[in-house]
Amino acid sequence: MDASLVGRQEEIARVDALLDAARKGQGGALVLRGEPGIGKTSLLRHAERAAGDFLVVRAFGAEFEMELPFAVLHQLCAPLLGDVAALPGPHRKALEIAFGLDTGTPDPFLVGVATLGLLAEASPERPLLCLVDDAQWLDHASARALAFLARRVAGERVALLLSVREPYRLPEFGELPALELKRLSELDARALLAAAIRAPLDERVRDRILAEARGNPLALLELPRSAGLAGMAGGFALPPSVPGVIEQSFRARLELLSPQARLLLT
Ligand SMILES: Nc1ncnc2c1ncn2[C@@H]1O[C@H](COP(=O)(O)OP(=O)(O)OP(=O)(O)O)[C@@H](O)[C@H]1O
Ligand SMILES: [Mg+2]
């Protein structure tokens, strides 16, 4: 059990079950969904800690690489590319084309099959855990390849754990098992706040932080910082009503709207 994650027992159990099944050769995938700061990356870190007996490969989506086909798949497979030579010729060639080591047009099906072969053979002794954070910024080709893999690892010792920041949606992952990370309960939010702030906290300030953060762990941790601990201990300073962290999350949501919808909101 991961003591550093407050109120996530069920989510941790779900991730641990994914790992247990993969150990037994019943591979699977899980997509973690949730708003900014809700704890997706933290749960990925938990998985990594819990998978001490796995070979772990990681990748993360980046907004500025979204236009680069196979960028994230390349990141994920990079540590395994030494084994490409063992793949059947067409599979090897498909991956080499996808990763820019050969010329030609990549065949998505062959790339998918080749990646599955690469992952399945990567570690004969140990199960394999693939972690993909910030999948909302996956390039389309990688998203498609990962969805292909996720649907075919059932007989392998492979677990795929992905995170997607809401409100983004990836149509490629629509059918995959998903876990929605909800806001923390009032009780858990209080516990997180108490653990984060050791100094005495004025009750009014605490209630205001809890109300503003609405169970978002990042907001619970950041709001006291933005308010300034010294003032809070004496109850003089209340946190700003629209903290940067919340503002940032709303800005991210606004960016997804059409220009007309934004104009309407303005
Ligand atoms: N259940 C929790 N208990 C304690 N701390 C938590 C919990 N969940 C998240 N945190 C802390 O909150 C902060 C934000 O969490 P995290 O980075 O995992 O969010 P995220 O969902 O990945 O956000 P983003 O969409 O911005 O990537 C981190 O400092 C993390 O340690
Ligand atoms: Mg994250």
Residue partners of 226: CB distance under 8 A and separation at least 6: 239, 240, 243, 244, 245
| Closest CA to ligand 1's atom 2 | 5
Using the mean position of ligand 1's atoms as its centre, give its distance from the Cα of residue 87 in Å: 39
Q: Which atom of ligand 1 is nearest to the CA of 5?
A: 3
Query: Does the Cβ of 97 fall within 6 Å of ligand 1?
Result: no
pLDDT < 70: residue spans in the chain = 1-3, 227-258, 262, 264-266
- pLDDT (tens digit per residue) in 167-188: 998 999 999 999 999 999 999 9
pLDDT of residue 253: 56
Query: Does the Cβ of 164 fall within 6 Å of ligand 1?
Result: no
- C-alpha distances (whole Å) from 37 to each of 141, 160, 226 are 27, 21, 16
Cis peptide preceding 167, ω within 30 of 0 = yes
Using the mean position of ligand 1's atoms as its centre, give its distance from the Cα of residue 124 in Å: 33
DSSP line for 186-249: HHHHHHHHHHH--S---HHHHHHHHHHHTT-HHHHHHHHHHH-HHHHHHT-PPPPSS-HHHHHH
Query: Does the Cβ of 33 fall within 6 Å of ligand 1?
Result: no
Angstrom distance (rounded) from CA 263 to CA 265: 5
- CATH topology classification for 9-180: Rossmann fold (3.40.50)
Q: Which atom of ligand 1 is nearest to the CA of 181?
A: 21
Domain boundaries, the chain: 9-180, 186-254
pLDDT of residue 236: 45
- pLDDT (tens digit per residue) in 113-148: 999 999 988 888 899 999 999 999 999 999 999 999
